[in-house]
Structures are given as structure tokens and as C-alpha cells.
Amino acid sequence: MSAPSMTLFHNPASPFVRKVMVLLHETGQLNRVALQPSQLSPVSPDAALNQDNPLGKIPALRLADGTVLYDSRVILEYLDQQHVGNPLIPREGSARWRRLTLAALADGILEAAVMIRYELALRAPEKHWAQWLDAQREKIRRALAVLEADNIAELSCHFDVAAISVACALGYLDLRHPDLQWRDAQPQLAAWYADVSQRPSMQASVPQV
Ligand code: BEZ
């Protein structure tokens, strides 16, 4: 087996990193990437990461020639063009825009969920901004309701960029926001998630925190 040619700034709790790990697994590319642990938060940056990504965000992927790619969407697109199997991001046509829009919906859930996590974990309780937290939670609820009402069949047909992104979003809600009890109002999504959670790529990337 050849040595990994790429380096991924990695944190097992990051759902954006998890998307990349799941795609690497699904496309048989895990051994091409070395993981560089990155412990960071908005108030405790990772100096090595900042050298490669001035935004200080993970995931960031350093290629063999030193080029650094970020964010997760760009990395997924790049990695999906580096394997010979069926693409997990449609290359063209309406399917491309549909699947990327579903992936963006999942990323929006994640962005809100991570912001809530930072507010609750990093700021003193008396400084928590309840109205803002509620607005973030509402954003998540609206997005989940749309997935339940409109997208179960679409999610079920391929485990591609859209499904990977939604699965990682739901996994992160379970990890950091079990209080949201998202399954109660989304039974079909819960059944879909129970199924895809069994995939080796999802099992191998369950956050160990
Ligand atoms: C978390 O611990 O929830 C987390 C870690 C890294 C990136 C995003 C979230």
C-alpha cells in the first residue's frame, strides 16, 4: 500500500469533517489521506491549521503539491473526481443542482447546530442569547420538516453527496442536540437514518468524543 499523498485536518466531532470521511470511505480512498488532528474552537485556534486555511476552519485538505482545499463542499467535489467509481456528486444536469441543493440544506442544519453548540458550550450561561438560539433551532426544525415532507424518496435512491450530508447532519444533532428530539416529528427521516447509519462508512466515522 502506498503512503497517503494528502493530509486532512481532522477532528472526530466535526460533522463537516465526517462528510469527507464518509465520502473517502464510500469511494475507497481512505488510504490516500493522512489525518492531522486539529483541536480547535472559535476562541482557541489551531496555529498549524491557520497556516493552511486562514479562516481556521476544518476540514482543510492539503494535496501532495501543497495546494490546500477548503471548505467541505470543495473537498468533496475534488475527492469525488479522484476515483473511478460512480460519482457521488452528479457532474451535470438537473440532478447536480438538485443533489447539491439538498446537501446545502443539510449544511445549513449543521451550521445552525454548530453555532448553537458554540453558544452553549463556550459562553457563560448568563450571556446566552435565548432569542438567537431559538431562531437557530427554528431554522433546523424548518429544514427537517422539509426533508420529511418532500425528500425521503430522493434521499433513499442514492447514498451520494445529498444523503451523506443529511446523514452527517442528523448524526450531529444526536451527538450535540439530543434535546431537539428530531425523530418525534420526522419518523420517515428517522427510519431512513436508521438504515443508512448501518453503512460501514457511517459506522467507521461515528464521533468518539
Ligand atoms: C463539536 O465538538 O461539536 C465540533 C468540533 C469541531 C467542529 C465543529 C463542531
Cell of 62: 492539503
Which residues are within 8 A (CB) of 92 and not within 5 positions of it... i.e. 6 or more apart? none
Does 166 lie in the same domain as 109? yes
pLDDT for 41 equals: 87
**What is the average per-residue pLDDT within 133-154?**
98
94-111: per-residue pLDDT in tens?
999 999 999 999 999 999
Assess whether pLDDT exceeds 80 at residue 74.
yes
pLDDT value at 70 more than 90? yes
23 phi, psi to nearest 5 deg:
-65, -40
**Do both 104 and 164 map to the same domain?**
yes
CA dist 143 and 141 (Å) reads 6
Q: Which atom of ligand 1 is nearest to the CA of 209?
A: 2
Ligand 1: distance of its center to the CA of 91 in Å? 30
Say whether both 113 and 191 belong to one domain.
Answer: yes
In this structure, is residue 86 part of a structural domain?
A: no
Task: Return the residue whose CA atom lies nearest to atom 8 of ligand 1.
Answer: 14
The residue contributing the CA closest to ligand 1 atom 7 is 14
Candidates 19, 114, 119: which one to mutate for ligand 1, based on the most atoms within 8 Å of Cβ? 114
Distance CA 166, CA 4 (A): 28
For residue 184, what is the domain's CATH number?
1.20.1050.10
User: Same domain for 142 and 111?
Assistant: yes
Collapsed DSSP state (helix, strand, coil) of residue 7? strand
Residues 71 and 169 in one domain: no
Cβ proximity of 207 and 11 under 8 Å: no
DSSP letter (8 states) at residue 4: P
Q: Is 105 in the same domain as 150?
A: yes
Residues 118 and 169 in one domain: yes
Pocket of ligand 1, beta carbon within 6 A? 11, 13-14, 114, 117, 176
Q: Which of 18, 47, 80 is the last residue of a domain?
A: 80
Quick one: which H or E segment has residue 10?
Answer: strand 6-10
Please indicate, yes or no, whether residues 97 and 194 belong to a single structural domain of this protein.
yes
Do 73 and 105 reside in the same domain of the chain? no
Which of 80, 103, 130 is a domain's end point? 80
Q: What whole-number distance in Å separates Cα of residue 15 and Cα of residue 41?
A: 14
2: confidence class by pLDDT, cuts 50, 70, 90:
confident
Instruction: Tell whether 62 and 104 lie within a shared domain.
Output: no
- Residue whose CA is closest, atom 6 of ligand 1? 14
Band of residue 79 on the pLDDT scale cut at 50, 70, 90 = very high
pLDDT tier at 1, thresholds 50, 70, 90: low
- Which residue from 85, 86, 89, 87 is spatially nearest to 103, judged by alpha carbons? 89
Whether residue 97 sits in one domain with residue 72: no
Q: Are residues 117 and 179 in the same domain?
A: yes
pLDDT tens-digit series, residues 168-178: 999 999 999 99
Sheet holding 68-69, edge to edge: 33-37, 6-10, 61-62, 68-69
Parent domain of 168: 93-199
Instruction: Say what the pTM is.
Output: 0.97
Please identify, among 57, 80, 103, the residue that sits at the C-terminal boundary of a domain. Answer: 80
Nearest atom in ligand 1 to 118's CA: 3
Alpha-carbon distances, residue 147 vs 154, 163, 185, 209 (angstroms): 9, 11, 11, 28
Atom of ligand 1 nearest to the CA of 172: 3
What CATH number is associated with residue 27? Answer: 3.40.30.10
Is 17 domain-assigned? Answer: yes
Looking at the structure of the chain, the number of domains it has is: 2
Lowest mean pLDDT among 39-43, 106-110, 134-138, 159-163: 39-43
Name 71's Cβ contacts closer than 8 Å, sequence gap at least 6. 16, 57, 59
* Ligand 1 atom 2: residue of nearest CA: 13
